[in-house]
Structure 1
């Protein structure tokens, strides 16, 4: 019998793909979970946006330079200490940005419409106090027109926009002349 020859088993197994927490277009820090100690890389296409290392519990927090546009697809990869890289985990940037306050034209006690500009395709809601008056969707140019019953002179209309992601603008107040 010969002398024994020791060998080390090498790590050739790639880590599982990281999981990523919901990431909004108003954020610059991406968080999630990966194999403990793995280097996590965030890419947009071939562009590296940021890297970080998962802690001993497997959580990571990576700061990227700039906010990303809603709907953009990003991919997270985990690379272990033996340089094995996981499959990519793709995720979409979520719309978390509220629309701007809609504009509104003059409204008199004889008016049957409120018109103005708002974020493209946002739904514009009109209330008189807590009473619902009407709504309309802004078109591709951002213009809207809400049909309504005539409103009492001196009352105040409360107008706001809500985008498809459910983000709500601040209010525009319009006094009925």
Structure 2
């Protein structure tokens, strides 16, 4: 009887140790899979902000090759760019804090901020310029070669000075 009881205890202890090993090994595999998934998501977000990334290209494609705004760009889109960039930055900062051994370089975010500020400045200048001038028959169907810009009646020395000051302040920023 004593031997059966001793064998039974050994089997229970061995089973418990085996179960414990399985739980620990399974937990480690799960933890490593979750960590790899988080790393992959952070890398995707990071690559999105790089020179060839889709977010970077969205901002870059908001201006023409000559540096002019594309017609479709709006103040709301520029604001959305800023909000999205801030969200991406915060997410990547959290990742860097949580995984200090796998830190991602966040310095490219500064150049994206500068690009967004430039877009916002160009929109402000365009808006102010549109207040100063109107386009009359500009490339109209009647005369596709005519490029006539007419200064509005509302133009005063003060409004022109204000516009010039605003443009200068944007350049100095």
- Asked whether the two chains share a fold, i.e. TM above 0.5, the reply is no
Give the structure with the larger helix fraction: 2
**Relative contact order, CA 8 A, sep 6+: which one is greater?**
1
Task: Tell me the TM-score normalised to structure 2 length.
Answer: 0.24
Taking structure 1 as the reference length, the TM-score comes to 0.24
**Structure with larger Rg:** 2
